[in-house]
Amino acid sequence: MNQTKSQASDVTTTRTTPHRGAAELVSEHGRTTIADTVVAKIAGMAAREVSGVYALGAGMSRALGAVRERLTGGAGTASTQGVEVEVGERQAAADLDVIVEYGVSIPDLAAGVRRNVIDAVENMCGLEVTEVNISVDDLHLPGEEAAEPQEARVR
């Protein structure tokens, strides 16, 4: 943050370093904070928009997430599944666990996911994205469907 004091008046001006989609999160009128979960949801949605991404999250976390979602009715957990973020005052970083469709070029997919996540977070939040780390945890094969958790036979 650059602060300059005007010689003509005693007013302090706060500026952020401009970047694509820059928004002033700290100004003379106040501070805007963005929760980690908000950035995680944006990153997750942006990653899922890329063709070739089958799902986010490692196998066990996806299974546990599906069970938790059914038990609690929590739709919010699915949108952040497989997404970890760190959010500062002006910057954010994301780690994504991705399951890729068979036949898709993984380097091309990773570049597309990275580009989409950076664009979405920077444009919607005004945060500079310093890194997007992608871990390809599994490959979805044609005809292979995600195992749905079985309902209990006894109630």
If you write DSSP's letter for every residue of the chain in order, what string do you get?
Answer: -EEEE-SSS--EEEE----TT---SEETTEE----HHHHHHHHHHHHHTSTTEEEES-HHHHHHHHHHHHHH--SHHHHHTTEEEEE-SSEEEEEEEEEEETTS-HHHHHHHHHHHHHHHHHHHH-PEEEEEEEEEEEEEPTTPPPPPPPPPS--
Average pLDDT per 10 consecutive residues for the chain, totaling 155 residues:
44 38 69 92 97 86 51 65 93 96 97 98 96 96 68 60
Q: Looking at residue 58, what is its pLDDT?
A: 80
Q: Looking at residue 73, what is its pLDDT?
A: 61
pTM beyond 0.85: the answer is no
Q: Looking at residue 21, what is its pLDDT?
A: 39
